[in-house]
Amino acid sequence: MKTATIRLTAPLQSYGNSASFNQRTSDSYPTKSAIVGMIAAALGYSREDNEKILELNNLLFAVRIEQSGKMLTEFQTVEYRKSASKTARKLTYRDFIQDGVFMVAIGSDDDQLIENIKEALEHPKFQLYLGRRSNPPAGPLKIDIFNGRNPLQVLEDLPWQASDWYKRSFKSSQFLTRIIADASLDSESTPLMKKDKVGSFDQKDRYYQYRPIVIKKAVKLKNSENNQTADNTNWDFWSFV
């Protein structure tokens, strides 16, 4: 088993769930379908490469919320002209996660596949984005490889990966968060069903399927910045990025 972790951060992220045309909502964390799509783009797959894309559904998947961010809702005016004299105008609303940080872990018994994905994410064939094309990553993705452990095991042991300024905002020595993972990675928890398994990305027939997940609540992470005091005037601009 080989697992790769991917740190996802950007000013805005959006991971669509069930929504109407007028209201495009977002999950509060990256979905598996969004990560499969990002990996497929990095590998150079087109939307019509269904067979190759569906193979990526077999990757083991888990995500840990490092920095939940805040939800932003924007509105856009959409105008459709049936003719020169008739205009249909609507307001649409879209949700985005501001300043969120997430650790995604993908795993497979095919070690070479994980290495290929790491190489592709570092040198992508197509532009990478976090949920929507308007949301590129904040910079090159930080990717690490772990051997002999599955995604859930890696995220349970991984140090807290939030921004330093966010860590300093908590005075406690521990931070409580959640891990959302494939149900196959935790047989002791009660599974839930989530509709974020890729059926097809083809624009003519795009759809998603349900998959079982588990949510591990109250995961404790050590806060390495809780020893900061009010007398500490050191300020690092880049820690806010």
Q: Please name the residues in contact with 150: beta carbons below 8 A apart, sequence gap of 6 or more.
A: 1, 3, 60, 107, 185
pLDDT at 177: 97
Query: What is the domain-level CATH number for residue 56?
Result: 3.30.70.2660
Structural domain span for residue 119: 2-17+26-69+99-160+176-224
Compute the distance between CA of residue 92 and CA of residue 101 in angstroms, rounded to an integer: 26
pLDDT at 83: 64
136 located within any domain: yes
pLDDT at 91: 84
32 located within any domain: yes
Count up the domains in the chain and report the number.
Answer: 1
125 located within any domain: yes
60 located within any domain: yes
Chunked into runs of 10 residues, the chain (241 residues) has average pLDDT values of: 97 84 87 97 94 96 96 84 67 92 98 98 96 92 97 97 92 94 94 94 91 94 74 58 58
Compute the distance between CA of residue 169 and CA of residue 157 in angstroms, rounded to an integer: 22
pLDDT at 85: 59
pLDDT at 231: 47
118 located within any domain: yes
Q: And the tokens for 124?
A: 């992508």
Using alpha carbons only, how large is the chain's radius of gyration in Å?
Answer: 19
pLDDT at 225: 85
84 located within any domain: no
Could you tell me the pTM of the whole model?
0.87
Q: How far is CA 123 from CA 116, 141, 155, in A?
A: 10, 10, 25
pLDDT at 104: 98
